[in-house]
Structure 1
Amino acid sequence: MSIIVGFVSTPAGEAALTAGIAEATLRNEDLVIVNSAREGALVDKSVAAEDVLARAARRATEAGVKATVIQPPYQHDLADEFLDIAREANASLIVIGLRHRSQVGKFILGSHAQRILMQADRPVLAVKADGSNF
């Protein structure tokens, strides 16, 4: 079993990584760090640079956690693809970071995090950049 962390190079992503490392340590499980980009996108701000992903994996390793970084491209819906990865990895826990968005922003843009929370068939830990958990 493993812990899956949705990682982007943002304060919320860093909070998710920190929580994921803590959970993996507590549960004595491996960590899978997922950073995805839409297939065919020329520019995607959610794609982390190679050195950022290496640093994320190093943080886990230094904490005594075996970590794997994957960057699977997604074609259709990020939330669906992420949940598929969690099932394939037999994840015991999904960890995601949340950022504050207005009600109108959530309505117009939708929310990958909200869909993951509602559709996951396993526990989800959602953390905010300030360190609070939901």
Structure 2
Amino acid sequence: MAVVVGFIPTPVGFEALDAALAEATQRGGPLIVVNVIRPGDEADPRHAHPGDLDAAADRLRGAPVRVDIRQEQAQHDISEVLLDLVETERAELLVLGIRRGRDLGAHLLGITSQKLLLSVPCDVLVV
């Protein structure tokens, strides 16, 4: 079964990528890496640029499972893109990275995280 990781180009995002690869390997893959962006918001630090996606691909090169790296656009709700992908791919696990140095409770109450944790039809690993 598939493992989906919501990828952002930060140190925590790369940690989530590593954890997702370990889980996909254990479960027999594939690993689906997705960076969700909003059109016209290229300054958003969650927006992976081509070099960021190349770095993710380099990090996953030689993986023992099939790896699919995607960049999807969200018009409004980032969580909807991830939820749709989890359902379409029949993912068994969604991996998310959280920012360090913030109160965990406050972060989990963010709209995107909250919606994903309450709505996703599979297990969630928070890194």
Q: Which residue of 2 aligns with 1:43?
A: 43
Q: Which residue of 2 aligns with 1:72?
A: 72
| 1:109-120 aligned within 5 A | 110-120=110-120
Deviation at 1:103, TM superposition (A): 7.7
Q: Which residue of 1 aligns with 2:93?
A: 93
Deviation at 1:105, TM superposition (A): 5.8
- Paired with 1:35 and 1:72, the residues of 2 have a C-alpha distance of 6
1:126 aligned onto 2:126: yes
- Provide the secondary structure at the position in 2 that maps to 1:64: coil
User: TM-score normalized by structure 2?
Assistant: 0.85
1:56 aligned onto 2:56: yes
Contact 1:60–1:66 under 8 Å retained in 2: no
User: TM-score normalized by structure 1?
Assistant: 0.81
Q: CA RMSD in A?
A: 2.2
- Paired with 2:20 and 2:57, the residues of 1 have a C-alpha distance of 11
Give CA-to-partner distance per residue, 1:19-74, whole Å, 9 cap, x none: 00000111111111100111333532211121221221232232322111111100
- Paired with 2:82 and 2:94, the residues of 1 have a C-alpha distance of 9
